Homo-oligomer: A and B are copies of this chain.
Amino acid sequence: MSAARIGVVDTMFSRADMGSLCVKTLKEYAPKPVEVLRRTVPGVKDLPVAAKKLLEEEKCEIVLALGMPGKEEIDKICAHEASQGIIHVQLLTNRHIIEVFVHEDEAKDGNDLAQLMKNRAEKHALNALDLLFNPASLIQRAGTGQRQGRENAVSLQLI
């Protein structure tokens, strides 16, 4: 049987190359052979159709969609439109797309931004592998306050 195909699509707008990092992480940690396909588009609003093409035309089984929305109000709106489109693609294809967005204003400076982008991209690449190869492992972490890129939240017992 052939290797599972995983798509990675990122943007030229982003201030750091999360795409290459995701490709590297996927290849390093995949429990089975994978083929990783990479695409780059201008900005986050171009991600939905690029992801759809990876799923439909390139037969990827899952896609990571990476973006770094800027600080302006208009950037927030673009990110919202992109997210709606990314959800829509998933419903049209019955496949998961892991959205990895780091908002520029989540970070206090350039260093912090780079750290956050690195951390979130790596963690979500691992999530994508788990969703694809070991979905039951996610159930074991259900409701545990997982945060990709920052410290996890405190988890609570429901008694």
Which A residues fall within an 8 A CB radius of B?
A: 10-21, 38-42, 45-46, 48-50, 52-53, 56-57, 68, 70, 74, 76-78, 80-92, 94-99, 103, 106, 110, 113-114, 117-118, 121, 124, 127, 131, 135, 138-139, 141-148, 153-159
User: CB-nearest residue of chain B relative to A117?
Assistant: B158
Supposing A49-B96, A96-B46, A158-B118 touch, asked if A38 and B139 sit within 8 A by C-beta, the answer is yes
Offer 21 A-B interface pairs, CB within 8 angstroms, sorted by A: A10-B142, A12-B143, A12-B146, A13-B147, A15-B156, A42-B127, A45-B87, A48-B91, A53-B94, A68-B143, A76-B77, A77-B83, A78-B83, A81-B84, A84-B85, A84-B87, A88-B91, A110-B154, A110-B156, A113-B156, A114-B158
Q: Is the CB of B158 within 8 A of A18?
A: yes
Q: Is the CB of B74 within 8 A of A19?
A: no
CB distance from A142 to the nearest CB of B (A): 4
Assembly CA distance A73 to B81 (angstroms): 16
Assembly CA distance A151 to B110 (angstroms): 17
What is the oligomeric copy number? 5
CB distance from A46 to the nearest CB of B (A): 6
